[in-house]
Amino acid sequence: MSKAQPSPISYDFLPFGIFPNSEALLSAPSMATLKMIDIAVNFTDGMFKGIYNGKQYHKGDIAAVLSRAWSSGVDRIIVTGGSLEESKEALAIAETDGRLFCTVGVHPTRCKEFEDSGDPETHFQALLSLAKLGIEKGKVVAIGECGLDYDRLHFCPPEIQKKYFEKQFELAYATQLPMFLHMRAAAADFCEIVERNKSRFTAGVAHSFTGSDEDCAKLLSVSGMYIGETLLSL
């Protein structure tokens, strides 16, 4: 890489009313005629601090990315939490602007953090406490990003992914928040777990979906499930 490019925004957009608990979103400033939310912005990624492959290429540019997003018609942004620490950072970022919100959860490639903590239940309770704090602040609007990713098993084996994906339905049930879900090369197990836990969450969006038409139909048969419009997936 000879020259780092400005940090990109993501391309997961959904109609404004998809989140059942969107009162906080509705009350935020600067309403647009066509209200779209970017639901998958990874502002906790090092690229937004100007860091690529461990090397600093430019200053942090979240402010510039946000300015570009607002001027392009994005009305609200949900910052993705992918681990306990990232979820804390996502909440801190969300508190800087009335149009920013966030999720709390653990990405499938990070699920080893539950067991690496030495006490998975305490780790889970820390996530739950953070989610409740963020709800009180009007900033946490979904549980996630959680799910299954079998394309990158070098980060986390499938059995651990499945165990802690299922565990995070407890977060959704306890908070009554929708779920921001990740499904990559894991359609059969993902659909099975969602079906088994469909009574424990109010709604969900499957992001990074790589399944077949049949898998899509199976997911959409679950009440409150949607498929995210993902135009770019690495």
Give the span between the Cα atoms of 181 and 105, in whole angstroms. Answer: 10
145 is in an annotated binding site: yes
Tell me the DSSP string of 7-60.
Answer: PPP--EEEEGGGSTTTHHHHHSS---SS-EEEEEE-TTSGGGGTEETTEE-S--
CA distance 163 to 158: 9
Any binding-site annotation on 123?
A: no
Question: In terms of residues, how long is the chain?
Answer: 234
- Most distant pair of Cα atoms in the chain: their distance: 50
115 is in an annotated binding site: no
Q: Which residues are annotated as a binding site for a divalent metal cation?
A: 145, 182, 207
Q: Which residues are annotated as a binding site?
A: 145, 182, 207
